Amino acid sequence: MQIYLVGGGVRDLLLGRAVRDKDYLVTNATKEQFKTTFPEAQEVGKAFPVFLIQGKEYAFPRGKNLEADLLARDLTINAMALGQQGELTCHPQAMDDLSNRVLRPTSGTALLEDPLRVFRAARFYALLPEFSPHPELLEAMEKLSDSEAIRDIASDRVGQETRKALGTPKPGNFLRLLDRADCLRPWFRELAEASAIPAGPPPHHHTNVLEHTAEIMDKVAGDPLCAWMALCHDLGKCATPKEEWPRHIGHESTGARLAEQLGTRLRLPLKYIKAGQKAALLHMKAGRYAELRPGTRVDLLMEAHLARITEPLFKLAAADQGTDHSPQARAELATILMVSLPEKDRNLGAASGERLRLLRAQSIAG
């Protein structure tokens, strides 16, 4: 029996990066022999044998041997195996592509064999922003553009790749590559025309909606929820009639509806769906927080607080509009949460709510 470290773990080791995911490949053994050696192993694979041992995956080759397994993987830089004695087995182009910082499919049919690899490739472009997509990758992605194969991917699988991309060093690259290869439809169809839509009038904007969205995602990198909020914040601009460009009046409420639609399609957690809606609806107000009346600030703070997005909302607004109002917002939220109604004003229904809002506004006025 031979056990190899494979995939991203080998890639990261050779790049001098921290190895976070360790996946293994088992050769020269049957399933029964493996289970005899590792009785604690739990079989989870369906298409081909995969076992879990203490959270780590041990798979059997997708093909007759190790070399065939590597050729069946997604990208050349992920098609490498490191043996227990330090021997390295690679896809024929893997080392050159690793050295040249290139993202290339292992074969002309690699993406067709599993169309989810379109989104995996975009995620790796976000994970490894120093790499460039090879023309072969762009060609393979373009062939699958808005195809039945893309549409037939299970929605939760696309959602999982999206969430992984949101946690990368440059999450905006996820959208950039999907746009470049014309692969935003059908899963991200709200953004399919975004690169042709001006983000807004000068001097506030000098680019299109797609690139602006990607830039804001990059600015908040390190916070996956905030990166999702950045992806959603200007979705409403994609629905602005062309004759109204470059202005996008009322894009906030339209964007909230589109953000819910997109998050639901990707089967994201409810927390993400709600955060995307609130990002679209509230980012403009959060960006000019200091100009708002006390009552409006109270309403904004409470809406964000109840949705548990206060910090990412103001981080997004700072990235989007250039001024960080989070210290003031944080302090004023603490102040208004200390306010309580006198006993005489309680239990009066809507009147109690209005009275509490007034007291909170007075606490931060001036």
Residue 309 in tokens: 């997005």
Rounded Cα distance between 72 and 61, Å, is 9
Residue 347 in tokens: 């239990």
Half-sphere exposure of residue 91: CA atoms within 13 angstroms, side-chain side: 26
Residue 224 in tokens: 């996956």
Residues 6+ apart with CB under 8 A from 317: 283, 286, 287, 289, 323, 325
Residue 177 and residue 121 in contact, taking contact as beta carbons nearer than 8 Å: yes
Give the single-character DSSP code of 244: G
Rounded Cα distance between 251 and 159, Å, is 25
Rounded Cα distance between 248 and 203, Å, is 15
Distance spanning both ends of the chain, measured CA to CA: 74
Length of the chain: 366
Beta strands 80-82 and 88-90, pairing class:
antiparallel
- Burial call 163-189: b when 16+ CB within 10 Å, e when fewer: bbbbbbebbbbbbbbbbbbebbbebbe
Rounded Cα distance between 354 and 296, Å, is 13
Residue 327 in tokens: 């210290």
Helices (H) and strands (E) in the chain, counts: 18, 9
Coil, strand or helix at 89: strand
* HEC letters along 12-54: HHHHCCCCCCCEEEEECCCHHHHHHHCCCCEECCCCCCEEEEC
Rounded Cα distance between 277 and 258, Å, is 8
Strand partners, 82: 5, 88
Residue 222 in tokens: 């390190």
Rounded Cα distance between 61 and 69, Å, is 5
pTM as predicted: 0.94
Question: Please, what are the domains in the chain?
Answer: 1-100 (3.30.460.10)
Rounded Cα distance between 218 and 233, Å, is 14
Strand partners, 81: 6, 89
Residue 287 and residue 233 in contact, taking contact as beta carbons nearer than 8 Å: no
> Tens-of-pLDDT digits for all 366 residues of the chain?
999 999 999 999 999 999 888 999 999 999 899 999 999 999 987 777 899 998 899 999 988 889 999 999 999 999 999 999 999 999 999 999 999 999 999 999 999 999 999 999 999 999 999 999 999 999 999 999 989 999 999 999 999 999 999 999 999 999 999 999 999 999 999 999 999 999 999 887 889 999 999 999 999 999 999 999 999 999 999 999 999 999 999 999 999 999 999 999 999 999 999 999 999 999 999 999 999 999 999 999 999 999 999 999 999 999 999 999 999 999 999 999 999 999 999 999 999 999 999 999 999 997
Q: Edge to edge, what strands does the sheet with 23-27 contain? A: 42-43, 50-53, 56-59, 23-27, 2-6, 80-82, 88-90
Residue 196 in tokens: 């042709």
